[in-house]
Copies of this chain bind each other. A is one copy, B any other.
């Protein structure tokens, strides 16, 4: 993992639609050398996957909300059970077990408030291990990067 590998990764994290020739040119390598590096990085799992990022508003699901959840029973098994239930929901785009005042934080992508209400019924209100949950509706998305600096 040298300077050129990092350069390739940084370029691909922002735009993976470049052809191999364009990428090779951008990093100052021959197409064959560049392709070999990319294949190596994919095989090693450093590049996990190549995906299309949609424009949220143009693809529906523009409503985002963050929910912090406090469980009654904090044990590992209870935590896992709740996370599994949350992950099964397609409106849940991110689910984290965290330290601090709460146990779980969820990122929701919703069509409308009705969908949110129905989701709350399923995973918060009907779930008898949830002590409290706080909803933060996203008003403004100032940054939403998939890239990680390396």
Chain A residues near B (Cβ < 8 Å) = 9, 12-17, 44-56, 58-61, 64, 66, 68, 79, 83-84, 86-87, 90-102, 105, 109, 134-150
Task: For A44, list chain B residues within 8 Å (CB).
Answer: 58
Question: Can you list 13 contacts pairing A with B, beta carbon distance less than 8 Å?
Answer: A16-B51, A17-B50, A48-B53, A50-B51, A51-B147, A61-B149, A86-B142, A93-B148, A94-B141, A95-B141, A96-B136, A101-B134, A109-B148
Given A58-B45, A59-B148, A150-B60, A143 contacting B94 (CB threshold 8 A): yes
* Nearest CB of chain B from residue A17's CB, rounded to whole Å: 4
Given A49-B53, A50-B16, A98 contacting B58 (CB threshold 8 A): no
